[in-house]
Every structure is written in C-alpha cells, then in structure tokens.
Structure 1
Amino acid sequence: MTGLKLPRTIRLDPSDEFVFDETAAPGEWAISGAFRFWDRDMQALAGKERQAFRSGLLGLSSFGWSTLVVVTPASQAEREAAVALLARQLVVHLGAPDEATAWAAAEEEIAFAASLCDHPENTLLAVQRSVEEDGIRERFRTLKKREDLVQHSRAFDIVTLEDNDDGDAAEAVDLHALMRGPT
C-alpha cells in the first residue's frame, strides 16, 4: 500500500434517502461533486436539490449524493478505476465532449478528493457549500468521536433481585450498587 487514501460514501442512518433525490450507495468512491452545480441558478435551487448543493458528496457509481464519506486506503489500481468511472460518468451524465477531456477532468477531481483524505483512516468527512461573490465555496469538516463525553446509562435496565432466606424477594434496593453495575 502506498499510503493513498480516497473518500468512500458511508451511511450511518437512512436520512440520505429522505434528504436527496439521488442517493449514493454506501461504499462508493466519492468526490466533492460541486461541478454538478456550475451552470445552475443557485437562487432557483430548492428542496432536495438545494440540500445536495449545500451538503452532498458525489458517489461515482450512482452519481448520487451522500452526506458523509470516510477516509479509506486505496490502491493505485482502485484510483485508476475511479478515474475511469468518473470520466465515463462525465460523458454519460454531463455531456463531456470526448473521453480525453473527461479523463483530464476526472484526474483533477480524484486528485482533489485524495487531498481531502490527509487524515487517519476511518475519519468521517462532510462538506458545507455556499455561494459567495467569487463563486461556490466549499468547507470540509472532519467528524471525530469525542473521547471526553460521559457515557450515559440506558434509561431502563432489567435488574434481578436475589431472594432472601425466607424465599421472598429482597425488599431493600441498593441504588448505588445498581448504578455501578455487576461486579
């Protein structure tokens, strides 16, 4: 492995199915995909299309959107396959004038996607897009588990009370012992 990493779509819950019209399947190689909005009237974007603009990352196989991607090791062969797939998608979905033009654009997009993965493996990435005076602005965030959060107990737990010598269930409950859990 050469240390190459690329983003893959990931779905932690079913929300992408409700947020986007076109959704990426989990596990697809992914890119920013902002170019899908280059010729659009940003003021006219509404609903799911607007949400795709604001926070969607583009899956290469489906050409659908994902809210999150995960930094994943990739081989050189997987990178080349991702470039080829994106080039084909640019011709099919966006009318690139020829394969050579599509290939050059795909190389650039995959290189940018790889540059986003300068993080440890399994780091989650998200994007936030906005329109500013000079064009579309993208801000990428990393999402990490906070280690300083207190782990909470479940609201309900089944507790077994031991019988006393009379065969009756014990009536005294030691709440402190219950909170500590089984020893």
Structure 2
Amino acid sequence: MTALRLPRTIRFDPSDTLVFERAAEPGEWAVPGSFLFWDQVVPNLVGKARAAFRAGFVGVRSLGFSTLVVIVEASEAERDEAIEDLARHIHERLGAPDFEAARAAAREEIEVAVSLCGPEIGTLIAMHRTWEEGEIRESFRTLRRRAPGEDRLHGGLRAFRLIEADDEEQPEEHVDLLGLQSGEAGR
C-alpha cells in the first residue's frame, strides 16, 4: 500500500510575497484552489489577482497562494486537519450553507490534491490555469532533481528538470533569464 501523500507549499525566495496579494506560508498543505475564482470575471482579472489565477496553488490554512508545491508524505491525521482547515474557510469566508457541506467540499478538494501526488516524494509541481470558453482549465508540470551527471551539457549542475506536461496543447512560455539579469529583457 502506498503511503498517503499531499502537496505542501514551498518558497525558495520572496517572489510569492511580491507576486500575490496574499502569499501562502511555506509548509502549508495545498490544493489547486480554482474554486476561489468561480465567482470572478476571470478575463477582467489584473495584476496580483491575475497572477494568482494563472499560477497559484492555495494554502489551506491561510488561503494564500504559492507558485510551487512539493509532494510529501502525510499522515491520515494531517490530511484530516487539512480538510478541517479548508472547511472552516469554505464555511466562514466563502458562504457554504453549513459546516457539513463545507467539509464535503474540502474533502473533495483535498482528494484532487492527493491525485496530483503520484510522482516521487520531493517532486515539485507547478500549475498553469487558463480560462477557455467560459471554463477554468488547469495543467500541471512536475519538476524533480536531476541525478548527478545526468545533464552532460551543463556538467550535472542543473537542480531540476521538466519531466512531465499534462497538456501538450499549452503554449510554451519563455523567460530570458540572462536578459533579465543584464537588464536587456523586454527591450
């Protein structure tokens, strides 16, 4: 039997605190969180709200956003605690009719999060959320550590590699990191 796994928010640098209105705390249990956008006019989102929509996992304790989550082992008690934390928000802040309905919705969100945790422990997951024909669509990418010497071109020095894309139809996004460093990107 496979051990229970859950995604947990992770922060490598302070960028989430700058990109999102409210950043999740590192180490929170996380869900994709598209339910937070159901009553939004998604095409009209701008700035930090748009960034949260496009790439934010939701921490169940804070309802803050995180760009990345990491797959970790979790106990049944930790999963149950995550369900209760999320259920409180769904009931108190999002208007569920009663706590049992909120708990059922939270349980469903946690099960979606669990379903993302098939790759090995320590794998990072990034999300890309879009609005297409009136519906929210999510795609996920997983990153895992390279084995030493695996990247001969760069001497095995890259920390992660892209290993999976659930949706081949998504357009590729490119960032000119060298240009950003030298201040030439976007010129």
The two structures share one fold, judged by TM-score above 0.5: yes
1:150 is aligned to 2:157: no
How far apart, CA to CA, are the structure 2 residues paired with 1:108 and 1:11? Answer: 25
Query: What whole-Å deviation, never above 9, does each CA across 1:145-165 have from its counterpart, x for those lacking one?
Result: 343152499xxxxxxxxxxxx
Task: Using the TM superposition, give the Cα deviation of residue 93 of structure 1 relative to its aligned residue in structure 2, in angstroms.
Answer: 1.7
Question: Which of 63-72 and 134-143 deviates more?
Answer: 134-143
How far apart, CA to CA, are the structure 2 residues paired with 1:144 and 1:37? Answer: 29
The equivalences for 1:84-163 within 5 A come to 84-133=84-133, 135-146=135-146, 147-148=150-151, 149-151=153-155
Task: Using the TM superposition, give the Cα deviation of residue 2 of structure 1 relative to its aligned residue in structure 2, in angstroms.
Answer: 5.3
2:28 corresponds in structure 1 to 28
1:169 corresponds in structure 2 to none
TM superposition outliers: structure 1 runs of 4+ over 6 Å: none
In structure 1, the gaps of 5 or more residues are 154-183
How far apart, CA to CA, are the structure 1 residues paired with 2:45 and 2:128? Answer: 15
Amino acid at match of 2:20: F
Query: What whole-Å deviation, never above 9, does each CA across 1:73-112 have from its counterpart, x for those lacking one?
Result: 0011111111111101111221111001001101100001
1:166 corresponds in structure 2 to none
In structure 2, the gaps of 5 or more residues are 158-187
RMSD: 1.6
Amino acid at match of 1:150: H
**8 Å Cα contact 1:2-1:75 kept in structure 2:** no
The equivalences for 1:56-75 within 5 A come to 56-75=56-75
Amino acid at match of 2:19: V
TM-score normalised according to structure 1 size: 0.80
TM-score normalised according to structure 2 size: 0.78
Amino acid at match of 2:133: E
Task: Using the TM superposition, give the Cα deviation of residue 11 of structure 1 relative to its aligned residue in structure 2, in angstroms.
Answer: 0.3
How far apart, CA to CA, are the structure 2 residues paired with 1:19 and 1:151? Answer: 32
Higher RCO (Cα < 8 Å, 6 or more apart) = 1
**8 Å Cα contact 2:6-2:117 kept in structure 1:** yes
Query: What whole-Å deviation, never above 9, does each CA across 1:125-168 have from its counterpart, x for those lacking one?
Result: 01000011151000011012343152499xxxxxxxxxxxxxxx
Question: Which of 144-153 and 40-49 deviates more?
Answer: 144-153
**8 Å Cα contact 2:43-2:131 kept in structure 1:** no
How far apart, CA to CA, are the structure 2 residues paired with 1:89 and 1:32? Answer: 15
Amino acid at match of 1:93: R
How far apart, CA to CA, are the structure 2 residues paired with 1:21 and 1:116? Answer: 25
1:41 is aligned to 2:41: yes
How far apart, CA to CA, are the structure 1 residues paired with 2:97 and 2:70? Answer: 32
- Number of aligned residue pairs: give it: 153
